[in-house]
């Protein structure tokens, strides 16, 4: 079941969709989209497929458009305001799902936002990182610092296209190697930043991880790859 509604964000209205599982949800998730200035929006295929995977694993999943995208009000704010948007989305989900654990994450720019917000929010028990931009250029660094790849010690899933031009599978493995505890890395062979031709593999990786309920442990799945 899908429900469309507006969230009151720090810059005005945020357009949102909540995807609920058939039974009572086991947790909630906020999935953030790619860069607003490069066509990113909540209906993008990678974001939708990730949300479907989480929904099939029993989570209620909130997608939303960052400020200035679609019907969301405001203008692009270099990541800082977008992080505040994501916090508003988490607030809304926590209000709708009192007492349930939350997952934060996203795709590309949204993955960086999810890392920053998820690492610092005690309500978030696990973090989802899709198409992580390994170089962290000016357009992806938030709060003048790179994202916390250890997510504050929380369980986290990295899914990366083998040939991603913003960070190959090999580059992501090297980047997260210093923080093995609680991380799972899945490199999808033969695909790019957008997982073209391999969206089923992306969806399967997210579903398998979510079905293990990583938010129920302190160390997730022990660093398996």
- pLDDT tens, N- to C-terminus, the chain (225 residues): 899 999 999 999 999 999 999 999 999 999 999 999 999 999 999 999 999 999 999 999 999 999 999 999 999 998 999 999 999 999 999 999 999 999 999 999 999 999 999 999 999 999 999 999 887 654 455 656 778 889 999 999 999 999 999 999 999 999 899 887 899 999 999 999 999 999 999 999 999 999 999 999 754 433 445
Residue of 82, 60, 87 whose CA lies nearest to 72: 82
Count CB neighbours of 196 within 10 A. 13
pLDDT of residue 191: 98
CATH number of 2-216: 3.40.50.1820
Dihedral of CA atoms 140, 69, 43, 141 in degrees, nearest 10, equals 10
Distance between CA atoms of residues 22 and 105, nearest Å: 22
pLDDT of residue 60: 98
**Which sequence spans correspond to the domains of the chain?**
2-216
pLDDT of residue 43: 97
pLDDT of residue 144: 63
pLDDT of residue 179: 84
Distance between CA atoms of residues 170 and 160, nearest Å: 9
pLDDT of residue 224: 45
pLDDT of residue 141: 53
pLDDT of residue 180: 78
Model pLDDT for residues 166-225, shown as the tens digit of each residue: 999 999 999 899 887 899 999 999 999 999 999 999 999 999 999 999 999 754 433 445
């Amino acid at each position: 079941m899908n429900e469309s509604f507006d969230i009151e964000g720090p810059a005005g209205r945020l357009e949102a969709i909540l995807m609920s599982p058939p039974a009572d949800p086991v947790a909630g998730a906020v999935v953030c989209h790619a860069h607003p200035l490069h066509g990113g929006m909540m209906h993008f295929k990678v974001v939708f497929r990730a949300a479907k995977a989480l929904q099939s694993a029993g989570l209620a999943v909130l997608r939303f458009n960052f400020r200035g995208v679609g019907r969301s009000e405001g203008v692009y704010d270099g990541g800082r305001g977008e992080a505040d948007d994501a916090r508003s989305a988490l607030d809304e989900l926590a209000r709708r799902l009192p007492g349930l654990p939350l997952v934060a994450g996203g795709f590309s720019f949204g993955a960086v936002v999810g890392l920053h917000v998820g690492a610092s929010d005690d309500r978030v028990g696990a973090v989802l990182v899709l198409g992580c931009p390994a170089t962290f250029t000016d357009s992806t660094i938030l709060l003048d610092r790179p994202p916390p790849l250890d997510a504050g010690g929380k369980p986290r899933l990295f899914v990366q296209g083998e040939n991603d031009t913003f960070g190959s599978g090999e580059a992501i493995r090297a980047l997260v190697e210093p923080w093995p505890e609680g991380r799972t890395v899945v490199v999808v062979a033969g695909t790019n930043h957008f997982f073209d031709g391999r969206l089923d593999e992306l969806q399967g990786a997210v579903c398998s991880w979510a079905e293990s309920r990583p938010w129920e442990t302190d160390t997730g799945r022990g660093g398996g790859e």
